[in-house]
Amino acid sequence: MTSSLISRNATLVGRAATLTTLVAALLAPAAASAQTITRGPYLQKPTTTSIVVRWRTDTASDSRVEWGAAAGSLGNVASDATVTTEHSIAVTGLSPGTTYTYAVGTTTTRLGGDDTDHRFTTLPTPGTRQPIRIWTYGDSGYANAAHTATRDAYFAYSGANPSDATDVWLMLGDNAYFLANDVNYQTAVFDFYEDFMRREVLWSVLGNHEFYGGNTSATQTGPYFSMFDFPSARESGTNGVASGTEAYYSFDYGNIHFVILDSMDSSRAVGSAMLTWLEQDLTATTADWTIAAWHHPPYSKGQYHDSDTEVNEIEMRANVVPLLEDYGVDLVVSGHSHSYERTPLIDGHAGLSDTLDASMLLDTGSGAPDTDGAYRKADTGQAPNQGAVFVVAGSAADARPFIPVEGHRLMASKLVSYGTMVLEVDGDTLEGHFLGHEGDILDSFRIEKGTARCPASPPSGCLASGKSGLVAKQGANDASDSLTYRWTGAELPAADVGDPSAESDLGLCVWDASGLLVDSALPPDAVATYEVAALATKLWVTDPEKPGLFLYKETTGAADGLRFAKVQTGAKGLMLVRGKGTALALPTSPWTLPVTAQIVARDTGVCFESVFAEAKKNDSTKFIAKATAD
């Protein structure tokens, strides 16, 4: 047919240009001439070694994804012969935390990609401590001016390449109004974020409008469940357990464990499948941070949505929040109310708002590091009942006043303003910023973990030494500074120390007459980062033939900060800690006498103290002092 058509048309005078075009089209692979991508490509269900690439076309064809390390060198191919308009290819065999360039198309034709606009990044290995940025917000379902402004404000905040600056993108439900059906999603999500979605995985929770759009958690059917792939079988992380449903699930990004719950259409009752799974999941995780997300906020006085009266909010607060707090949740993000509401660091507020009492407020400040100071959680990792911050970020596309106008009494910050939430996690620090639609940061807070650190002046009540010594040497640079403190000559009860080999929680504090000089501690993850199979390599050493002796020695070569400890309990007690390097932050000497040194066992709360009223040497190179009890 092709040749006859060309032959017939070749005889027509004055249609040469048309003919040329036609011939070119006909000689090209058949699918390429007509097929158009109408959705995506977009990225789903990343793991450390795989990712799902999806796209929709106007006509059906088979599917192919090519990928490689950089544009122009896509040497890998995955394809599916199924003829469809809904294309979904699982790309496997990837490396953790690695960015790849990709292209999509049919087995004969590339439809798009192989450029810097088409890239994906696999998940980092769970537990990896690296700076992580999370962009999260709810109720963004209008493709309106407000949503455009909040989106563009974040893109401006993130610099030239927002997707490179974003690690986790999480929508908090009501992602498309009113019915959250396929057409609404096309407008409010896929068209609205077309470029961003080519490079950034979209995670999501179910909102009430998703439910109105014909989605149902009971059968995992409806447009929401069709267009997204979430890890129901623990694919995206090794910290949790399989939920068995995409309505609620968990995943890990670096040192963060994300728990995504369904506050709309799954049972929220104690003993329900979701809560049973949640407890098992929280028991299994060993991540440094736990962030939970669901749509209906446990604390809110947003217009139309009062957490004292709506059953979803009440049940999530009464049944889910206490469980999360028991397992040390750090942050809960929700939407539903079209406003911004953010609590201080709280714990144990499961009742109605009038049951709030002072004991539930673990820190009444704003959490802003430059004013009230950061919220501090003493322990790293899961820190049960040490407080969490609850955020309502439901004003990405619509903002409405509180009812009553003064809002919820619990909040440290409440704003009727368009905006989105930006979370920055780095090691043991989490910062939250509410980014307004004009690009201003309208609220900020910080949570610091593992901050059972030294107070501004020496606390009283410590166990005094019989003999002690303190040596601080100023090196040629900060990296060669060193410090040694020895506490001995007195009884050291085993119960006062606990089990340092399990806790790795000894801290060292040194003050002089002018204030705190040294605030250091053994790395709390020195134990936690090792797998069971590798327990023999852990840094603490004990000897059954030498009861009461605990020895810690850093052997990885990263000799920075407090890296050596020796503890001997019993009648002839000994505590010795030694540190080196920049992380000690050793102030220059001479120091102002008297100098006080304390070792603190964080789990027992017992401290071991020496006061040095005199110094053998106290100049710009060294501080050397010994003390003997009277």
- Give residues 359-378 in contact with another protein (rule: CB under 8 A): 378
User: Is residue 12 a contact point for another protein (CB under 8 A)?
Assistant: no
User: Is residue 286 a contact point for another protein (CB under 8 A)?
Assistant: yes
Residues 493-512, interacting with another protein (CB under 8 A):
498-499, 502-505
Query: What's CA 600's distance to the chain center, in Å?
Result: 30
Give the CA dihedral 310, 314, 317, 323, nearest 10 degrees.
-130
User: Is residue 534 a contact point for another protein (CB under 8 A)?
Assistant: no
Among 32, 60, 241, 350, binds another protein (CB under 8 A): 241
Residues 553-612, interacting with another protein (CB under 8 A):
602-603
CA dist., res. 81 & res. 94, Å (int) = 22
Q: Token pair 């439900």 is at which residue?
A: 173
Residues 88-147, interacting with another protein (CB under 8 A):
145-146
Residue 429 CB, nearest approach to another protein (Å) = 17
Question: Could you tell me the end-to-end alpha-carbon distance of the chain, in angstroms, rounded to an integer?
Answer: 109
Cβ proximity to another protein, 86 vs 478, nearer residue: 86
Among 105, 126, 328, 344, binds another protein (CB under 8 A): 328
CA dist., res. 419 & res. 426, Å (int) = 23
Closest CA to 463 of 540, 566, 574, 564: 574
Contacts of 94 (CB under 8 A, 6+ apart): 48, 49, 50, 51, 100, 122
User: Segment contacting another protein (CB under 8 A): 76-84, 281-289, 291-299, 346-354?
Assistant: 281-289
Residues 13-32, interacting with another protein (CB under 8 A):
none
Size of the site for another protein (CB under 8 A): 76
Contacts of 99 (CB under 8 A, 6+ apart): 119, 120, 121
Among 1, 13, 160, 218, binds another protein (CB under 8 A): 218
User: Segment contacting another protein (CB under 8 A): 15-23, 26-34, 128-136, 520-528?
Assistant: 520-528
User: Segment contacting another protein (CB under 8 A): 116-124, 266-274, 556-564, 615-623?
Assistant: 266-274
User: Segment contacting another protein (CB under 8 A): 18-26, 72-80, 123-131, 431-439?
Assistant: 431-439
Residue 584 CB, nearest approach to another protein (Å) = 22
Site string for another protein, 400-419 (x = CB under 8 A): xx--------------x-x-
Cβ proximity to another protein, 390 vs 418, nearer residue: 418
Give the CA dihedral 126, 132, 136, 142, nearest 10 degrees.
-110
User: Segment contacting another protein (CB under 8 A): 185-193, 225-233, 424-432, 581-589?
Assistant: 225-233
User: Is residue 194 a contact point for another protein (CB under 8 A)?
Assistant: no
Cβ proximity to another protein, 595 vs 600, nearer residue: 600
CA dist., res. 510 & res. 599, Å (int) = 9
CA dist., res. 373 & res. 426, Å (int) = 17
User: Segment contacting another protein (CB under 8 A): 91-99, 191-199, 220-228, 349-357?
Assistant: 220-228
Spell 508-525 as b/e; 16+ CB within 10 A means b. bbbbbeeebbbbbbbbbb
**Secondary structure of residue 577 in the 3-state scheme:** strand
CA distances in angstroms from 445 to 200, 376, 388, 605, listed in the order given: 26, 11, 12, 28
User: Is residue 217 a contact point for another protein (CB under 8 A)?
Assistant: yes
Among 247, 291, 345, 510, binds another protein (CB under 8 A): 247
Where is 390: in which H helix or E strand? strand 389-393
Site string for another protein, 137-176 (x = CB under 8 A): --------xx--x--xx-----------------------
Beta strands in 294-388 (DSSP E): 301-302, 305-306, 331-334, 340-342, 345-346, 361-363, 375-377
Cβ proximity to another protein, 153 vs 490, nearer residue: 153
CA dist., res. 441 & res. 422, Å (int) = 10
